[in-house]
Each structure stands twice: as C-alpha cells, then as structure tokens.
Amino acid sequence: MNVQLSRLASGTPSWDYGLGKDVTSAEAIRAMSRAQVLRAVREHTPISRSELAKHVPLSRATISSIVSELLDNGLLLEAGLATSTGGRRPALLSYQPEAKMALGVTMFNNEVVAVLTDLEGHPLKYCPRVWTGRTPEDLIHTMIGVVKEVCQSIDCRRVLGIGVGLPGVVDVSQGTLEISVSMGWLGGRVEVRRMMEEALHLPTIVANRSRIAALGELQVGVGRGISNLLYVFIGQGIAAGIVFDDGIYFGASSSAGEVGHITVVADGPLCQCGNHGCLEMYASESAIVARAIAKARAEPDSAMRRITKGNLQLLTTDLIIDCARQGDAAAIEVMNEAGTYLGIALSATLNILNPQMLVLGGPLGCKAGPLLLEPTVREIERRTLFIPLSAARIVSGSTETEGIAIGAAVLALKHTHINRIFSEERLANNGHD
Ligand SMILES: [Zn+2]
C-alpha cells in the first residue's frame, strides 16, 4: 500500500491534494513528473516515447524511467508499433484506465447499489440489492455484502478504495455517521469507515449522500464538464453538495452545504434542528405533502382528493406531481410555493458561491422537473445579484441511485494516490499562473 493509501486507511485523509508535510521535495518532483507523463499518454494514446518527449518537458532518461514504472504497475501498456519513419518502428504506449479501479456504494429509495469504476470513473459493473432494514449497522453490513459480491469476479488488489454515501450527518475526517434525522437514526455515532475497512481491507471514505450526489452529477449527469457546481438534494431533507474546482468542499467540520436549514421565514414553524422557519419546513417532501393535504382539504374539486379517493393521508409527492401535470390548480400552487422558498434560500447561496451551475436534484428535484424548477428560477431571478445570476445555469438533476454510487467511487478516486498525481500537476501549473 502506498503512502497516501496508508494515510487514508489509517484515518488521516489528505484532503488538500497538496504536497503534504511527509512528502519530500524529491518525491514531490517525481510525482509531478509522473503526472505529466501519464497525462500526456492519456491525452495522446497511443503514443511513442519519442513523441511523448515532445509533450513533456522532462529529460528522455526521466521519461524512460517513469514509463517503466507506469508499465510495471499496469497504468501503461506497450500497444504495438508505430509506422516507421525510416528506422526501427517505435513501440507505442497506451493508457490503461482499467488497470486500477474504485468502488462506490450508497443507499437510496430502499435500495443499496454498489458500482465498480475504472480510473476515469466510468462504471464497469453495478450490483443493486433491496434493503428493508432499519438500523445504520444493518445498512453497513448490507453494503459490505453488496461490495463483496461486486469483488467476487475481480482482483481486489486493483481496487484503490471505496467511497460510501450515507444519509445524515457524516464526520468525513473520522469516517463516522453521527445522526440521520430523516432515517430516524438518533442513537449515536456509527464507525462506518472502521466497519468497512475491517471487513473489506480497502481504504474507505465516507460522506453525506448529498455531497456525493454532486460528484455523480458531474461524472454522468447534467454537470459534465463543470468545475464549480451547487447541487441541491431535495427529498425528505434538503442539503447541498458544493463542488469547488472539481472537488467537494466539505468545510471545517464536514457540514458545508446544509442549505435546508437556511431561515426563509423568520417566525416560521419549529424545525428539527431547533431553529424556526428553515427551508426544509417549506420545500422538503414531507413539507410539500403536508401543504398539499391542507390545500386539498380546502378545495373540494381538487384532483388530489379524487386521486386519493378522499383519503388525503395517501398523498405522496409522486401523486402531487401527477395532479400538477394534469393542471390541478391546488397541486400547481403547492409546487410554486415550494419553488418560491427554494429560490429565496438559493439566491443567497448563488451570491456567496458564484457557481457555474445550480442543480435541483435528489428524488424531488429530479422527478418534479419544470414544476419545481420554474418557480425556483423565477424567485432566484428576482433576488440574485446580476453577475452570479448570469454565470449560473439552473437545471433539474438527472441521476439517482446509480449516479450517486458513481459519485461515491469518484470520491474514492479523488482521495487516493492515482488522482493525487494528476492533481499535483494541476497545482504546479496553477502556481505558475
Ligand atoms: Zn432547521
């Protein structure tokens, strides 16, 4: 296990991607050189060593030494011979993204999904399993079982690490789940990383599902090609993933992105967090259902009454969306109100973060589409400063469980050695800008 994996496995993740204090300058220079070579082969694959020398400002001896190292660990492959230009035909090198892999696992809608990806975050294999358990410990044991199933057909030595996406408050540095109000898990700290690493012997990183969903949207959804993105997960709770320069911004204690607890009504109802008038009290799934029931009671002709045969306790956000799509005025008004409160809260976040894209994701954001997006955008346009507003595309999310699992695998890749060598090159280039 290399230095960075050891640090991750032992509980000291290297969040900064920088040149950590245990990395000597010689090691750092070697890492940057390795990154330059690997990136050049990746961009121009297949490529000969002499062509490679034109793309990398290193001596031929250094390039040759690094190429040997990368051939040894399988990241590069000799891939035939180039066309002759007069002398011996040169050997071609190709980049092998499947030489190493990552695993991601998450739970969503009573389903645990694990995914295996290559180094580029491309999915190679999915493994879903229905989960009907109740406790976080049971969920982690199920996740371990699903990951073992994925690993049955592969050489686990090729897996760099595992990313785990969980609902609730996660201490990323400790790898623990602290609490999940939406799941009713209030019993205390669960040592998720320790449980996963003891069972699977692979370095593990644990994060809140909303943060990881943002990475999934970048990898396979509407956020492809975006470096600065705000992803808002709207479900039973509301929380955001902040993507800052291609990486997740966790904040000082892993809680960056708790937009659901922004006050939108100063003297509004009491929230589970202890504050009054939080966004979650107006735009979460349970808040929307409660509002729809109240509206339908006051509207004898509402489609929401017909669709539930008068038993309004059967209303769900799916049914409310169906009624709104059929033109039911009360259902449309409920969605407009939720979007208005989302717009009030998110205009503040756009002013602060100035992202390229704002995604309304999570189960409600994805399935409601324009019904929620349009009133949210209307309110954001009323309240946001012109410069951040004009920079941000505001869209509905496009990925759910599988996309979140891919985001978890991408998070694992971002915190393991192989990605560090790419990142260090970026840092080095930034230093000269
Ligand atoms: Zn709150």
For the chain, how are helix, strand and coil distributed in percent, rounded to 5?
50, 20, 30
**Strand ranges (DSSP E) for 308-392?**
357-361
- My answer on whether 145 and 176 are in the same domain is yes
**CA 341 / ligand 1 centre spacing (Å):** 14
pLDDT tens track for 144-194? 999 999 998 888 888 989 999 999 899 999 999 998 877 888 888 999 999
- Please report the DSSP string for 374-433 in residue order: HHHHHHHHHHS-HHHHHH-EEEE----HHHHHHHHHHHHHHTSHHHHHHHHHHHHHHHH-
**Alpha helix ranges (H) inside 19-74:** 25-44, 49-55, 60-72
- My answer on whether 354 and 238 are in the same domain is yes
- My answer on whether 185 and 143 are in the same domain is yes
- My answer on whether 201 and 316 are in the same domain is no
**CA 278 / ligand 1 centre spacing (Å):** 5
Q: Which residues make up the environment of ion ligand 1, defined by Cβ < 5 Å?
A: 261, 271, 273, 275, 278
**CA 393 / ligand 1 centre spacing (Å):** 27
**CA 286 / ligand 1 centre spacing (Å):** 14
pLDDT of 290 > 50? The answer is yes
3 pLDDT band, cuts 50/70/90, is very low
pLDDT of residue 85: 67
Contacts of 386 (CB under 8 A, 6+ apart): none
**CA 258 / ligand 1 centre spacing (Å):** 9
The CA dihedral of 350, 351, 352, 353, to the nearest 10 degrees, is: 40
50 pLDDT band, cuts 50/70/90, is confident
- My answer on whether 44 and 130 are in the same domain is no
In this structure, the chain runs to a length of: 433
- My answer on whether 273 and 388 are in the same domain is yes
Rounded-to-integer distance, Cα 363 and Cα 243, Å: 20
pLDDT of residue 15: 28
**CA 238 / ligand 1 centre spacing (Å):** 10
What CATH number corresponds to the domain at position 176? 3.30.420.40
**CA 110 / ligand 1 centre spacing (Å):** 25
pLDDT tens track for 330-348? 999 999 999 999 999 999 9
407 pLDDT band, cuts 50/70/90, is very high
**CA 156 / ligand 1 centre spacing (Å):** 42
- My answer on whether 244 and 387 are in the same domain is yes
Nearest to 160 by CA among 345, 386, 414: 414
What CATH number corresponds to the domain at position 23? 1.10.10.10
**CA 49 / ligand 1 centre spacing (Å):** 58
**CA 251 / ligand 1 centre spacing (Å):** 18
- My answer on whether 290 and 426 are in the same domain is no
- My answer on whether 165 and 278 are in the same domain is no
- My answer on whether 351 and 261 are in the same domain is yes
pLDDT of residue 6: 34
Domain count within the chain: 3
- My answer on whether 410 and 421 are in the same domain is no
- My answer on whether 379 and 292 are in the same domain is yes
* Residue 82 or 129, more confident: 129
- For 269, the domain range is 229-398
Once rounded to an integer, what is the mean pLDDT over residues 396-418?
88
**CA 333 / ligand 1 centre spacing (Å):** 23
pLDDT of 87 > 80? The answer is no
Once rounded to an integer, what is the mean pLDDT over residues 113-133?
94
**CA 262 / ligand 1 centre spacing (Å):** 7
pLDDT of 18 > 60? The answer is no
**CA 340 / ligand 1 centre spacing (Å):** 18
